[in-house]
Amino acid sequence: MKTKLTLLILFFLQLSYAKNNAPSGLICQLLSHPELSVITERNPDFGWIVNSNKQGDMQKAYQIMVASSAELLMANNPDVWNCGKVKSSQSINVKYAGKALQSNKSYYWKVKTFNKKSGECDWSRPQQFNTGDFDRTKKWPGESKWVQLDLGSGQKQWTFENRHPLTYYPVKPVRKAIRANGVQFFDFGRSAFATLEMKLTWKPIISTDSVFLLKINIGEKGVGDSIDQKPGGGVIFRTYSLKIKPGTHNYTLEIPRFVPKYPHSQAMSPQMPEVAPFRFCELVSNLENVVVEDITHKTLYMLYNEKAANFKSNNVDVNAIYDLCKYSTIANTFNGDYANSERERMMYEADCYIQQMGHYAIDREFAIARYSTENLIYHATWPTEWISHSIFMAYADYMYTGNTDLITNYYDDLKAKTMMALETDKGLISTRTGLQTKDFLKSIHYNGGGLKDIVDWPHGNMSTLKGGETDDYEFKTYNTVVNAFYYKSLIYMIEIAKVLGKTDEAQFLTSKADSVKAAFNKHFFNNETGIYVDGIDSKHSSLHANMYPLAFGLVPSEHQKTVIYFIKSKRMACGVYSSNYLLEAMFDNGEGDYAMSLITDATDRSWLNMIRVGATMTTEAWDNKYKVNNGWSHAWSAAPVHILPRKLLGIEPAEAGFGKINIRPQPAGILQAEAKIPTIRGCIEAAYTMKPCKSFELNVTLPSNTVTTVYIPTIAPDFTLTNNGKKVKYTIENGYAVVRNVGSGKYYFVLNRM
């Protein structure tokens, strides 16, 4: 492993490299900083961002060198691998093919590219990666343990296998106050999973003891210059005692260790100080003279590049909602995975999928999503529809990384999670027909008594609450929502089978999906009302029974009008979880204006309500009134952070790994908006300004080695379209002027009414 001398050599080596379009953003095994971790893959994948000062440039070839020391790499004398000049445009997921790597060693690599227009580029800055124990026995294939990384000179650092380590970030108070009773109050601006570090001076006035118990309150909700001690729901208020001594000393608040109460709750490593979510703290000294020399909120979350993404619009409410959701997405990685919620600290498939999509939208990090996906494949939870989300997560992993390792390694597990084993002669699945055998439950890696349909959460009649978030859904033996997920799971599995070259499987799954779609519309669609009922023999039609078929492509075109009309009549009659799919269903079916009206809604079923009540992370439910133990730290409510760049700005991958990109804005009443999103190939930026019925201006910045299709909304029947001041060829499709094969670089499209 690396020594201080090696670190110094690597530092000067990085400084010495020129910047003539050298590749940047190196990743190894999906890690942007593999030097901080250890990898357990014998043949890791490499990736980089292709750079060029030429518009439309593409990589034609690359060369990779890997060495066992920084000195050998600097001398261009690699002793591990020199692939030579490889003619290929591949810049992601390049598999290592050198000498066998050894366990528990450090290696160094670099890459240069040969581009179509800019020619041979300089070498990248080198990157270090560390190997772990290749032969360690794992409890499940993707298991990632805490290990010690040898820094040399007797120094060691705790880190994860195949994931970045957790980091405590120091945050100072943004506001301080001393109340009349001497209580010292501190506001750190935002809630976070954290602990406190303090430098205190105690000059005894009353106490004659050598130790004083200082009372410390922490909480998530403030009231003036104090903490709300009865915040309601599951909102945090806690009191601790800290032993302090006379004189000036440094202290760390020792929060009691989290004790897992659920089967797969994630306990923090004992090597790290425990955390709890809070924004405010109070020091209650009971008239003793305790002076706070310094106090720091030690905020814990995964490695994060705050500048990797941004969003801004002319609507201040939308901007505030995006910021809330962006922060919530990263703050809830405090345990190195997507297990948020202080109450449970447990990963659930649906929760993790929404957070995964949010994470992709704000940072060029993929390892935590990969780990969470693999973990959940082997640790399934009880809701029926959650099982489907393992497939959703795996497909998203492939689309955003272009990497096939996960879908290859877990294909059979994912296929089982379609739950086609629960299909009956009706061509639909059900959890209530006796088909949940031990073999079935084993095939999906579920260790409980059986799956239960959920539809949305919370359900009604929980403690003192009524109704719940299912819009009075009538649960039947065959449920509409469950079978909508069944269909969408099959659609994703078809694509996965095609990617893996499983032609027969793809044909079988396609036939299965077609038959499910036919059975779905036969049994669940009410021809008299023009909408879907909740299940076979149900006379009730809920929002959920209609928005999920629409979101997943089950509604025939001739019925979309009545289904959409019904959905819009319901407003936000669902929980925060289902809002993710409601927004997607609306945007994907030409109802962007309605989707934005939901995002900016000001009732108590909204993101603005979360802000209004004082939450700085998205909450588990819309409000405490809808869930008796509603927590204020839950990223499954953060859907707008990925919906806004993906749907309002329209930035999405057209093929896995963003080699091909679509940019298709849906202005939806927002006159100005801009977004920057990170991708595995580099950042994409898009910004538009719309003057209704007059013009639409669209600026885009696209990374090298990509090709984009740009959709410019038409604002009148007759218009002119220019790109960088020159007329451009286009086609008209569904209200858009479509410009294809747009290469990398900066573009300024202007569509003017004639």
For residue 753, give every residue at least 6 positions away whose Cβ sits within 8 Å of its Cβ, in sequence order, or none: 693, 694, 695, 715, 716, 718, 719
Of 270, 302, 334, at which residue does a domain stop? Answer: 302
Strands 707-713 and 660-663: parallel
Looking at the structure, tell me whether residues 17 and 30 fall in a common domain.
Answer: yes
Confidence at residue 10, expressed as pLDDT on a 0 to 100 scale: 54
- Letter for the amino acid at 288? E
Confidence at residue 461, expressed as pLDDT on a 0 to 100 scale: 61
Burial of 287 (0-12, 13-18, 19+ CB in 10 A): exposed
Confidence at residue 630, expressed as pLDDT on a 0 to 100 scale: 96
Confidence at residue 16, expressed as pLDDT on a 0 to 100 scale: 44
Taken in order 83, 87, 92, 93, is the CA torsion positive or negative?
negative
Of 164, 181, 209, at which residue does a domain stop? Answer: 164
Looking at the structure, tell me whether residues 69 and 83 fall in a common domain.
Answer: yes
Looking at the structure, tell me whether residues 154 and 178 fall in a common domain.
Answer: no
SS3 string of 117-158?
CCEECCCCCCEEEEECCCCCCCCCCCCCCEEEEEEECCEEEE
Question: What's the average pLDDT block by block, 10 residues per block, for the chain (754 residues)?
Answer: 50 55 98 97 98 97 98 97 98 98 97 97 98 95 93 87 96 97 97 98 86 96 98 97 96 94 86 95 93 98 96 98 98 94 94 98 98 97 98 98 98 98 98 98 96 94 66 97 98 98 98 98 98 98 98 98 98 98 98 98 97 98 95 97 98 98 96 98 98 96 98 93 96 97 98 94
Cβ atoms 347, 376 nearer than 8 A: yes
**Distance between CA atoms of residues 10 and 442, nearest Å:** 49
Residues in a beta bridge with 459? 468
Burial of 211 (0-12, 13-18, 19+ CB in 10 A): exposed
Residues in a beta bridge with 203? 289
For residue 398, give every residue at least 6 positions away whose Cβ sits within 8 Å of its Cβ, in sequence order, or none: 404, 406, 407, 496, 499, 656
Looking at the structure, tell me whether residues 183 and 71 fall in a common domain.
Answer: no
Strands 310-313 and 226-227: unpaired
Looking at the structure, tell me whether residues 133 and 205 fall in a common domain.
Answer: no
For residue 54, give every residue at least 6 positions away whose Cβ sits within 8 Å of its Cβ, in sequence order, or none: 115, 117, 118, 745
Looking at the structure, tell me whether residues 61 and 199 fall in a common domain.
Answer: no
Angle, CA 134 vertex, CA 128 and CA 137 arms, to 5°: 140
Where are the alpha helices (H) located in 124-260, listed in sequence order?
none
Q: Provide the CB-side half-sphere exposure for 737 (13 A, CA).
A: 25
Q: What is the CATH number of the domain that holds 39?
A: 2.60.40.10
Is 355 among the domain residues? no
Looking at the structure, tell me whether residues 154 and 180 fall in a common domain.
Answer: no
Looking at the structure, tell me whether residues 244 and 134 fall in a common domain.
Answer: no
- Letter for the amino acid at 418? T
Token pair of 141, please? 């294939």
Cβ atoms 426, 519 nearer than 8 A: yes
Is 107 among the domain residues? yes
Question: Locate tokens 């240069």: which residue?
Answer: 112
Is 194 among the domain residues? yes
The single-letter DSSP state of residue 16 is H
Is 400 among the domain residues? no
For residue 299, give every residue at least 6 positions away whose Cβ sits within 8 Å of its Cβ, in sequence order, or none: 168, 169, 170, 171, 192, 193, 194, 331
Looking at the structure, tell me whether residues 87 and 159 fall in a common domain.
Answer: yes
The H or E element spanning position 483 is: helix 480-499
Looking at the structure, tell me whether residues 154 and 252 fall in a common domain.
Answer: no
Confidence at residue 15, expressed as pLDDT on a 0 to 100 scale: 47
263: number of Cβ within 10 Å:
11
Long-range own/partner contacts, residues 442-450 (CB < 8 A, 24 or more apart): 443/413, 443/416, 444/380, 444/387, 444/413, 444/416, 444/417, 444/419, 445/377, 445/378, 445/379, 445/380, 445/413, 446/380, 446/381, 446/382, 446/387, 447/263, 448/263, 448/382, 450/382
**Distance between CA atoms of residues 361 and 33, nearest Å:** 19
Residues in a beta bridge with 465? none
Token pair of 541, please? 């039609």
Cβ atoms 750, 721 nearer than 8 A: yes
Question: Locate tokens 């000195």: which residue?
Answer: 71
Looking at the structure, tell me whether residues 43 and 100 fall in a common domain.
Answer: yes
Of 241, 276, 302, at which residue does a domain stop? Answer: 302
First to last CA, the chain: 66
Taken in order 452, 458, 464, 465, is the CA torsion positive or negative?
negative
**Distance between CA atoms of residues 483 and 461, nearest Å:** 25
Report residue 422 CA to chain centroid gap.
30
Question: Locate tokens 């601790």: which residue?
Answer: 240
Is 223 among the domain residues? yes
Q: What is the CATH number of the domain that holds 298?
A: 2.60.120.260
Is 239 among the domain residues? yes
Looking at the structure, tell me whether residues 130 and 247 fall in a common domain.
Answer: no
Number of domains in the chain: 3
The single-letter DSSP state of residue 267 is P
Domain boundaries, position 744: 657-753
Q: What is the CATH number of the domain that holds 678?
A: 2.60.420.10
pTM: 0.96
Is 551 among the domain residues? no
222: number of Cβ within 10 Å:
16
Confidence at residue 399, expressed as pLDDT on a 0 to 100 scale: 98
Is 401 among the domain residues? no
